[in-house]
A and B are shown apart, each in its own frame.
Chain A
Amino acid sequence: MTEAEPVQLPVTFTGAKSTNGPLVVIGGVEGQVGWDDLASVTLPSGEVRRGLVLEIHHDLAVVQLLQGTSGIDPGTVTVSFEGRPLEIPVGEGWLGRVWTGMGEPLDGGPPMLSAQTRPVNGSPINPTVRSVPADPILTGISIIDGLTTLVRGQKLPIFSSAGLPHLELAAQLAAQANAGGEPFKVVFAAMGLPHADAATIRDVLEARSTSGDLALFLDTADDPVVQRILTPRIALTVAEYLAFECDQHVLVVLADMTSYCEAVREVSAARGEMPGRRAYPSYLYSDLASIYERCGRIRGKPGSLTLVPVLTMPANDITHPVPDLTGYITEGQIVLEPELHTAGIYPPVDVLNSLSRMMRKGTGEGRTRADHPPLAAQMIAGIARSQQSRDLSDLIGAAALTDTDRSYLDFAAAFAAQFVNQGVTETRTLDQTLQLAWNVVSILPRRELTMIPAADIDKYDTDGKDGKHG
């Protein structure tokens, strides 16, 4: 890039000037090392660690080591630069395998090799070539398919808190999701999970992995923090290639984004950056956007990239920066609730706080079923109304309620027990889900079903034509 003769790659330096936290400073790099280039640091033992150039100032380059600086004596290392940013090989070879958070084999198999490579940071999709997500992904989970439908190209996070079964839900979703017979692949990136959870996920997803439809990246809680920053980017780079160059529908599950954000905070602190809200760096919004916005559809391409980030809200606080910033970027959210979990309902989804903003486009005639959108709207309105009935019942006693209020209480109970509640390995077809919805909704008097066209009620509501209670 300079007027001098071209630099021979890779360029190698012997010895670093200093180390500090995850950072290593290398001298004499002027004109030879580019910003954000990939560096390989070789220890005297032969161990190789990788890093990225964070800053160059005159002849000094500051390199952030992805696996930490533990055991490094700056005088004895060799550092070489490839003259390009971090890239990974791409292709179908990722599928059917288990990898570390850095993309190294974890299943005893060979490393991923491919002639094609892509930079892990990706590039923003030109907003003018995006097409609006409009087709559903069916997960076999009633509450999601029925009321917060996931749409191809959407980003729909699961907000949870400690102790709730969000990993079970994420794994079930990854194991069961499909695009109605069209080619469908799953990339699951686990970040900062305890070993036991990682093992569970591996077990649940084994069948799908064996059939070559799933790539699993496992970054465990004791892995070096810095590499966690790369895990979602590696997963998305793999997924982008499959979606936009191999015409597949790809679902990416990222669990747990809170661990990821903590890694970002830890690295930011090590770099001496000014802390923002709750000590997260002020660029956390842009950083999360650079991950979440990689999903979508591109006009003229059959593939799609759908993203389900999973995050735990510290102290169940939805205004914490991680859920708050995520909510500002994603298209809705599925919120899990401790109360329902205690009541033994799985998945414990808080219906009124949950929302899929793309659902309007992805459901109805030709997408799911014509009766689906009004039925879903009626169910949500019914649950909102049943809460008023419950408040009233708490206040004046159930005996004093009107018949209508009592039917709403019955409806809410059946909704939780029959419609929402489901087994962790149970797959329900869309027809099964909607039939359950009809069964539950017909508990209400017919005059209360104001959102559903009468013809649909006659067609589907087999036993509730004049209302069981009416």
Chain B
Amino acid sequence: MTTAARENPAGRIVRINGPLVEVEDIGLVAMQEVIELGELRIPAEVLKIDGNVVTAQAYEYLGGMCVGDRAAGTGRPLSAPLGPALLGGIFDGLLRPLGGAAEFLTPGALGAHSAPGPFAFTPEKKVGDAAAGGMRIGVLAATGGVEHRVLVPPGVAGTLDWIAAAGDFASDGVIARIGDRDIALTELWPVRIPRPLGARRAAAAPLLTGQRALDLFYPIAKGDTAGVPGGFGTGKTMMLQQILKWSDADVIIFVGCGERGNELADAMADLAALKDPKTGRALLERTVVIANTSNMPVMAREASIYSGMTVAEYYRDMGYDALVIADSTSRWAEALREFSARAGELPAEEGFPARLASAIAAFYERAGRVTTLGGSTASVTAMGAVSPPGGDMTEPVTAQTERFIRCLWSLDRDLAYARHYPAVSWRLSFSRDVAIVGAWHAANGQPEWTRDRARAVGILSDADRLASVVELIGLAGLPARERMALLAGRWMREGVLQQNALGKNDASCGPAKQSALLALVLALYDACLEQVGAGRAAAEIEDLDLSAISRVRDDVGPDDAKGVERIRDTLMAKILAEPEAPSAADANPKPAATAQPEPKAGAKPQSAAA
């Protein structure tokens, strides 16, 4: 970092190669300082300083720029304005507002803008009070569902020499003074530098996403990290947008990083129309969108995930649980690669720079549950989509991401092809937060959560293993108990894992309904096992019309556990009812229930019985 007061003599551009420029005679600049190029003052970031020659990457298109055009330092690294005008807004990768900007983004179009406002400020401290970074000194009247708390910026300490009386201020208005430092509603923060925190704490509670495949099977704790790899068409964006809409974080930052413009427009329209179940306000009001679609300048894409993370930390510091979703980190990594190739860095794997791993770690490691400087407990949870080229999960971005995240939600092309959504693979996904989340559920009235989950995972892997056996020997060759396991696997997939993102009742699923659906499948499975154990033919049970199991999730309300239990009782009665007539189609007249031991829950799936 540099001091802001430094005066720079104007530099001269001597080389232009795409977004890479070389500047001479710019005087004192620091690494990663932002310099401004030409009359349009296009921002660029310093990458290399070699004597009198400074190399920088421009954040916009440089068409028409000449050798000899001037360049000037700004005295600060790439910084984002953090203030009350963020929620509900949509910004580019450098956090410049896109709302109200021109229809077509020409270079320089996103320069100066007026400060939004006014915001009604109410002081909570008085002159003479001691002040330190992170301390709350006032609050803004709620403009959305999230109260905006005004804090002393990190690194500032002393006594409050002046604080404004209650009143209206623009977003850049000064509301207090500590020593010789004016405290404004909007502060600048360098996006590549993590905002300071009091202390890191262990994760303790789940971030509920409303998606059963995640919350029940691969849960994430608030303050932890998840990666979502999946080839195109596997529904990454759809799943992340479901989380964007329904997760129980206080503030959500969505970084659309090198993705589709139409999809983003669609998501924005949905967010504006949907209501937050907690506050009754439009979901958009708790959301900050950073949009750097795939055709916007590549270099701003590289900065966008840091901008998003900085905004998340800003709300964390106010005491909120923030969630940052980056879709897709692969496009961000590609921007990194594109640039490092131009800058002449030595390529490592697949042309990515050797620093790829540290760059990915630097992003995910900014997540965490913390005690803020001001003393509150708050968190930043981070999720990143990964788009492996050709669906190759061994490529560097996927492989490096797996090292640093706590949860992997791997999306499977075969499941998507079979229209099984969300296509979260139960073979390739993992969560290291199961114990934490299980303990939380146990403390919140669901002691059976961990046990039920383990059984469910076991059933899925048994069903997979048995399905490959059936391909070899046919269903009729399987003992009755195993045939019930296959049936339970199908119920688990259709009744619990699959979720209809467009369904009124199923788009989001509350924790009680989640557990009820899981309990429903487990109870029916137990009943079936009991029946075949008592000598009933497997085919008889298979022929029962139990298709209601896959419709329960759509038929009862988003968190209606009672409704699920009612349907469970009807289905249970169906299974326990005396058969009307023995089925002629039964190919397994003598159940061989004891011929094979019951597969262990959690057994590894095997490819073939041979």
Contacts and interface: CB of A to CB of B under 8 A. Distances in A.
Interface of A: 1-4, 29-37, 54-59, 83-85, 119, 121-133, 153-154, 244, 273-277, 282-283, 285-286, 289-290, 292-294, 296, 298, 319-321, 324-325, 327-329, 331-333, 352-353, 355, 357-358, 360-361, 380-381, 384
B262 A153 contact: yes
Given A1-B66, A327-B232, A55 B262 contact: no
Contacts of A83: 64
A381 to B, nearest CB: 8
B262 A274 contact: no
Interface string B220-264: 000000000000110000000000000000000000101011111
B103 A31 contact: no
Which 5 residue pairs spanning A and B have beta carbons closest together?
A319-B390, A289-B294, A293-B295, A31-B68, A34-B64
A56 B66 contact: yes
Contact of B337 (A244, A282, A355): A282
Categorize the interface residue count of chain B: 35 or more
B391 interface: yes
Contact of B66 (A2, A275, A282): A2
B239 to A, nearest CB: 14
Nearest to A53: B16
B472 to A, nearest CB: 11
A384 B419 contact: yes
Contacts of A57: 14-15, 17, 22, 67
Interface in B66-118: 66-70, 90, 98-99, 101-106
B104 A289 contact: no
Given A3-B70, A4-B68, A58-B67, 8 more contacts: A1-B64, A2-B66, A34-B64, A34-B66, A37-B64, A125-B103, A127-B293, A384-B418
Q: Which of A127, A293, A294, A333 has the most CB of B within 10 A?
A: A127
Contact of A128 (B16, B99, B331): B99
Nearest to B334: A285
Given A1-B39, A273-B341, A296-B261, A32 B66 contact: yes
A208 B32 CA distance: 55
Interface string B501-522: 0100000000000000000000
Interface of B: 14-18, 22, 38-39, 61-70, 90, 98-99, 101-106, 232-233, 256, 258, 260-266, 268-269, 291, 293-296, 298, 331, 334-335, 337-338, 341, 347, 350-351, 387, 389-392, 417-419, 502
Nearest to A285: B334
B64 A324 contact: no
Given A36-B62, A56-B16, A352-B417, A358 B262 contact: yes
A32 B65 CA distance: 10
Given A56-B67, A85-B64, A355-B233, A286 B265 contact: no
Given A128-B99, A289-B258, A277 B64 contact: no
Contacts of B296: 124, 127
Contacts of A119: 63
B352 to A, nearest CB: 9
A130 B98 contact: no
A285 B294 contact: yes
B104 A293 contact: no
Nearest to A284: B334
Given A126-B101, A127-B291, A319-B391, A132 B69 contact: no
Given A37-B64, A84-B64, A124 B104 contact: yes
A361 B265 CA distance: 13
B105 A35 contact: no
Given A285-B334, A319-B391, A293 B103 contact: no
A327 B335 CA distance: 19
Contacts of A296: 261-262
Contact of A30 (B67, B417, B418): B67
A332 B347 CA distance: 33
A33 B261 contact: no
Contacts of A128: 90, 98-99, 101, 268, 291
28 contacts: A2-B69, A3-B70, A31-B67, A34-B66, A36-B62, A36-B64, A54-B17, A56-B66, A57-B22, A83-B64, A124-B295, A125-B295, A126-B98, A126-B103, A127-B98, A127-B291, A128-B268, A130-B265, A244-B103, A274-B351, A276-B350, A282-B337, A282-B338, A285-B258, A286-B298, A321-B389, A357-B263, A381-B419
Given A36-B64, A127-B90, A293 B294 contact: yes
A54 B102 CA distance: 28
Q: Which of B22, B39, B63, B291 has the most CB of A within 10 A?
A: B63
B105 A124 contact: yes
B67 A1 contact: no
Contacts of A332: 233
Contacts of B262: 130, 132-133, 153-154, 296, 331, 358
A337 to B, nearest CB: 14
Contacts of B260: 293, 329, 331
Contact of A285 (B263, B291, B331): B331
B163 to A, nearest CB: 36
